[in-house]
Structure formats: structure tokens, C-alpha cells
Amino acid sequence: MKKLALVLMSDYSKSWIDSGNLFDLSKQSDLTVYASDAVLSKIEKVGFELKLELLPNFKASRTTSILQLVSLINRRKLSSSFDFRLKRLIFGDLKILPKILSKKTSIFHAVFYNLKRMTRFVGAHPIETLAFVAPLGKFLELSLAARFKKLSNQKFAKIKFDRSFDMVLLPSAAIEDRIFEFVEFLRQSQITTAICIENWDNLTSKSILISRPDYVFVMGQFCIEHGEKIQSLDPTHIIAAGLPRFNSYRNNYSGSLNNRVKEKFKILYLGFSVPHNERNLLNKLISLMDNAPIAGQYEFFYKPHPVRQPRFYEDTSTPRNVKIIEHKSDLTGFGAIPAIDASHIQNIMAADLVISTPTSMAIESMLLGIPTVIDSSDDGVHRTTAKFSLESYLHLRDLKKIEGVIFAESAEEMFEEIMRHFLGESATKNLTLDKLIESKNVSYVSNIMDLANRL
């Protein structure tokens, strides 16, 4: 059996415990899990027989955080996603000149907001701001990288880490400074490392890999292409493995669709995490539907994103006939993402049509074979709307490479698609998602073991 380590710097229990991945990995390898007390307790409750080691709570150094941002600034031309992310960091999410949509919208407020955000960024990141001057940026990165390597080795030197592991797996869902520090420590110890990407967009919009692991597990073929182009990774060291949290979608749910009791036409709208005034859009869409033959013959469900960020000038309410599926959690960030359990899957499968903002939830509905329309509208207020996110984020642009995916740029276009499906005039298309997400292998872990057995 291969000797593997799984290092959980954050709580990824939904991706590894709830999904069954940890159980599979424990049965197919000699596995040791390093995690915090809280995560180890969750594993112990499940009752898996494997080696558990407490991982001290190391804080990321200021040097690592600065290096992350300086590296991104220096390479902002490599990816429109990087440039887009920097604009958001510096100026915020409100357009400097929003369209006048109501009396509440103030151009003066928008201009002041952007200037205030820029001033705050420069004050909080004086060193990083210098990196926008190319020669200074390169000098800063070289200096910071040297210090980063030294600090990383010193920080983890006291950990009694078994150097006989065949591979160390490091799940990562965001810009996790500690992950890169630990990768650098293991690199200097000549231990094979592999980052398991937990999100769709890590290689294209989150950060530059300031310490390169030996291997990276990504969602699909498109991500391999991004990893090679943007991160300069060897494509043979990038493995399309799907997402660990999506392991459940490898099951065949097509039979369940035939057992549904048909009552009213069910529509499910999946919301955006970044600012996008979707409630304004829904109010207009419902108005169109209630003045059409579909009136009284549909049910409309709205599922806000579990990590929904604040909006400007958004309607505060939705029509009474819109049923809101709330996910109540005190957690933030990746921890707030719901587990993919029977209830979660049933909410999607109960729909006759899904309208989804361009998020990974759209992939979920497409994997389940539910007709899906992508909201690509612009609210005229935010620089992060569905329309501009689709244009700016490289990973979202990949949706446009898939033949048969339908995009709607307005409430009117969404209404037309709803009516086509309601009247039976739109045939369900079997989308080919192979390049977007790997879901053919028996499990996420099978991809890990394929690599481990080759080492």
C-alpha cells in the first residue's frame, strides 16, 4: 500500500468526510491525516480507522501575504481574471459610473466609494502598490521570495513529519498562504506534494503558485490548459480529477427523474456569490410570467448563494410566489458551502428548469441532466455582474466552449426560454461536460491512487 498523508489546513470535512473520499482513501492507502482538533474530532466521530495527527495552528507570515499579491500584480497580464480581481481589490464592486436605475442611485456616491476604496487599498498595501511599477515589482518579488523560503522552512521545522510518505495531499479552496508555506517546507524536505484544488477557479483567478507543488489535481481539462498557460506548470503534472465535494455526482440519478410527480412547472434560480442584483431581475421575470399563459401554472424557487456578498441598490424583497431556499449557517467562506447530500440534490432534481448564475452550482444542475439556462445579465450597477464575470473570468468563459449551453442576457430572454420549456418546444440537450469536469472515473480518490501507484 502507498503511504499517503492528507494535510487539512482548513475544515474540508464536506469535501473529504461527507463525500466519502476520506473513507475511500483510508481503504486504498496507508493514510495519515494531519488536521486541527475540531476536524480530527469529526473524523473520530465517523469511526474511520486511520492515523490521526494534530496539526498546530500556524499563522501565515506577513511576508507570504505580500509576496502573494506582488506576484499577482507582476503577472496580471497573464490572465484577465487576475486583472479583474485586482480591480475589485482596489476599487471595490460598485461601478464608478453606474447606470441610473432609480432615484436611489447616486453617481456621486459611486465615485466617492471608488476613491475611498482605492485610498484604503494604498494605505493598507503600500509595498504591494509599488509593484505596479514594473522594475520595482520584479525586485520586490525576488527579495520577498528569498525571505519566504527561509521563513517557511523555519516555521514547520518543529513538526515531526514522516519523510517516508510517498505523497502528501494538500486540499486548497482559496488563497491559503499556509498551504504555500507548507509546500515550500516539504519541497526543501524532498517530499512529493500534490495540491487538491477544491474550487473551479483556483488556477485562473485566485493567485500565483508562489511555491510549486509536484502535482496539482484540478477540475477538468480546461483547468489543465489554464494551469499550463497561467501558472507555467508542466501539463503532465496536472491531473483532471473533478472536485472532491462533487464526488456524489458520479452516481447515476437519471432514474430518479422519472419518479417525480408532475404538478406545476418548477423553476429553480441559483444565485451569485459576488454582487449582482438578482432580486431586481427576479422581480421583473416574475412580472413577465404572471402576465403570460404560464401564470398560476408554475412554482418558482430561489436559492441564494450560501456565501452571498452585499449588493448596492438591490430590491429588498421578492414576490410572494417565490419560495426561497435558505441555507442558514454561521460559517463563512468555503465552510458555508452546503454538503452535497440527498436534500441538496433533490432541490435541484425537483426542477423542470434551472436558471443559474455562472457558478459551480450551474455545473451541478448540468451534471444531473436538468435543463439549465445561464444568467448572463448586467444590472448596470456592479462590475461583478453575471455578464462581466463571464467576460472577465477565464474559468467562466469555459462555459461558452460547451456546445448547447444556453445564455440569457435579460429577464426577457429568460422568460422566452422558460416558455419554450413550459410549452415543450425546447428539447433537452445532453451536454458534453468532459473537458469542463472529470466525472467518468469511479471516484475522486481513484484519480489520486492512479497517480500514487505511478510514483
Q: How far apart are CA 354 and CA 362, in angstroms?
A: 8
In tens, the pLDDT along 169-228 reads 999 987 788 899 999 999 888 899 999 999 888 777 778 899 999 999 999 999 999 999
What length does the chain have?
Answer: 455
CB 396 within 8 A of CB 390: yes
Least confident of 259-263, 354-358, 402-406: 259-263
Q: What is the pLDDT of residue 258?
A: 46
Query: Is the per-residue pLDDT at 103 higher than 70?
Result: no
pTM more than 0.75: yes
CATH ID of 3-58+156-243+440-454, from 3.40.50.2000, 3.30.499.10, 1.10.10.10, 3.40.605.10: 3.40.50.2000
> How are strands ordered across the β-sheet holding 322-324?
322-324, 298-303, 265-270, 353-356, 372-375, 406-408
Domain limits of the chain?
3-58+156-243+440-454, 62-142, 248-422
3-state secondary structure of 427: coil
Q: How far apart are CA 185 and CA 142, in angstroms?
A: 18
Let me know if the fold of 3-58+156-243+440-454 is the same as that of 248-422.
Answer: yes
pLDDT at 65: 94
SS3 356: strand
Q: What is the pLDDT of residues 232-244, one digit of tens each?
A: 999 999 999 999 9
Tell me which residue of 39, 27, 35, 26 sits closest to 7, measured CA to CA: 35
Give the 3-state secondary structure of residue 350: coil
Mean pLDDT within 124-151 = 96
Cβ atoms of residues 393 and 308 within 8 Å: no
Q: pLDDT at residue 455 above 50? A: yes
Residues 6+ apart with CB under 8 A from 140: 66, 70, 127, 130, 131
Q: What is the mean pLDDT of residues 101-109?
A: 68
288-323 residue pLDDT tens: 999 999 999 999 999 999 989 999 999 999 999 999
pLDDT tens digits along 26-36 = 999 999 999 99
CATH topology of domain 248-422: Rossmann fold (3.40.50)
Count the alpha carbons within 13 Å of 43 in the hemisphere toward its beta carbon. 28
